[in-house]
Chain A
């Protein structure tokens, strides 16, 4: 990875430490990812061979076969994630608007309350949620898992939505009101569309969080709900590295894709207002 045509030998030499450091970082970051990719297309791979002995897609056929566990888990995962986004938006759009525009008592404490589920060791909480849900008949149901994911996603949806509303220029709202628009019409015609990219970003955060969530689903969803992370866990622990790798790749696509587009949705003016 040296420069095209270094003007001097000194400049070329300066690339030695840089190249070594960047190369090491690339190895550390892409080594495990490459490993995963190889397992996904390996038919046969055993010690002491450095690379798979035979490549192929027979495991993909198994994963993508209609009515396979993986497809059912993918459908469950996506359903739960979409319902979680809906539940988060239903409570956080009003809450975000209030936090951004109305004067609230204990505003800081309210913002902090939404952070708590993310900023607290969660395993013991999930154990007790499962205990409560068991008495309510919510254990092992989609609704139960959605509730757990929603509480966890609220910090993203409330904080980012509030920041998005705060970043909307008030003078546009005032102009709409001066021209006779009612408060509801102003909200749906001006405020919400202008805040939409931020609300969208928060929804993607919530969607990914739900798609990737393992611990809560593990305690609350068993034995009836199997999401992709649970499937991957069972495949990996059972020694089926091909199925685990393919499932992991399916989970990676939305995550990495989002990382590449996040800046389009989260503008600097919104980011600057997150948590304020």
Chain B
């Protein structure tokens, strides 16, 4: 708890000027720093013990053989058995991220530039529904909605849009993409719309006065300014989709599938921690790749948030 440090040292100037009482200024003193570290310690220890340590363990186990020595055998075996699934995983996550980007910019753009107040209100009410719906619930919903005899095909047949013979199951890579995009778009759209709403309107109005259309204003004026927020939202989505196990397990557990399913299979069916961790290591590399991309492009843009 923040108690007053003994001896009450001379007040230090705080950021943003302003004197403040000596007691509060003490927060910035060396003693305040010790208190700060002590107060943060328990939370940091939790992350270190139950996240960083197992993370390190998984990276190390990926390169350890059953005899305990260092080896590349796990990685080699992972590539041998699952290189198709690795490519599948990356393709699914990249495609979903691209669709999420497109849709969230479209939604945010209409919320910011849309002329009709009723349509904007309807859209604002509509797009957020999947936001807090858990992935596993979304997966179960889509599993019965997108099936060959699911409600989607039934409605399309019932309304005469397709013939009964044209009904096809989307429970393959398309089902995974649809579920990911359905679930993640509101999250990114919320961030993007928030960033767009806080933009300085004068550049938009100026472009409008010069006769620029709404699409052009969106692409050339609005999106470049909110790019850092968009990139942060997409990277968080990318990694989230990369780590979801329930969606591929419930929608398309057959090969090719995502490597999260393979990891669970290696553990449950074979107790093979080596190859499972090697697959985990590959997923870290994929996440690292987008992190590197962000640092290269995000920071140069002046950094996001």
Contact = CB atoms under 8 A, between A and B. Distances in A.
Interface of A: 1, 3, 14, 18, 22, 25-26, 28-36, 38-39, 47-51, 90-92, 94-95, 97-99, 101-105, 110, 113-114, 116-129, 131-132, 147-148, 150-151, 154, 158, 170, 173-174, 177-178, 182-184, 187, 208, 212, 214-215, 218-219, 229, 232-233, 236-237, 241, 244-245, 248, 251-252, 255-256, 258-259, 271, 275-276
A22 B123 contact: yes
A208 B132 CA distance: 8
A243 to B, nearest CB: 11
A48 B239 contact: no
Contacts of A232: 136-137, 140
Given A128-B58, A170-B24, A245-B140, 14 more contacts: A32-B138, A33-B141, A48-B149, A48-B164, A94-B40, A104-B37, A121-B260, A121-B287, A124-B263, A124-B277, A187-B2, A212-B136, A233-B250, A256-B133
Contacts of B50: 129, 147-148, 150-151
Return the 6 tightest CB-CB contacts between A and B, nearest first: A124-B280, A102-B36, A212-B134, A121-B283, A98-B39, A128-B54
A34 B151 contact: yes
**Interface residues of chain A: helix, strand, loop or mixed (majority):** helix
A147 B127 CA distance: 34
Given A94-B42, A183-B23, A215-B246, A120 B137 contact: no
Contact of B145 (A35, A151, A154, A215): A35
B21 interface: yes
A154 B131 CA distance: 20
Interface residues of B, number: 93
Interface in B24-49: 24, 27-28, 32-33, 35-37, 39-40, 42-44, 46-47
Contacts of B102: none
